[in-house]
Amino acid sequence: MFSRTDAGIELKFKTNNYFINLDTYPRMINQEKIIYSINIEDIQTVAEQELERKLTAKELKLVEGKVGDYINWYEAILNAIDASNINQKNSVRVKKAKDKKKNN
């Protein structure tokens, strides 16, 4: 099994012991930025683990055309939103970092 976390948007950042709501800042986020991707190396890693061999160029083309059909993008995005503590009223919960430390 593998996972990639090399891309993403940080929803909050710490400054002066506060977590700041990014909605209060200008919208400078590139709407075309790729958040997550799967590359040939990822596919070959799975093939080697499951088939004990790498895929051929023809097989890679077949998998490339189908892999997106098996990823529930909506559910993955919704789960990430939920895990980030984002709700309808506030886009990101704003809390003092000190308060967060007290709870830990």
What integer pLDDT is reported at residue 47 of this predicted model? 98
Answer whether residue 40 is part of any domain. yes
Answer whether residue 43 is part of any domain. yes
Answer whether residue 21 is part of any domain. yes
pLDDT > 80? residue 8: no
Region class of 75: left (phi > 0), else alpha (psi between -120 and 50), else beta: alpha
pLDDT > 50? residue 4: no
**pLDDT digit string (tens) for 15-68?**
455 555 555 555 677 888 888 899 999 999 999 999 999 999 999 999 999 999
pLDDT > 90? residue 9: no
Answer whether residue 2 is part of any domain. no
Number of domains the chain contains: 1
Mean pLDDT confidence for 60-88: 92
Residue type, 55: L
What integer pLDDT is reported at residue 7 of this predicted model? 42
Query: Which domain range does residue 53 map to?
Result: 12-97
pTM (global) more than 0.75: no
Q: Residues 6 or more apart from 77 whose CB is under 8 A from it? A: none
Answer whether residue 6 is part of any domain. no
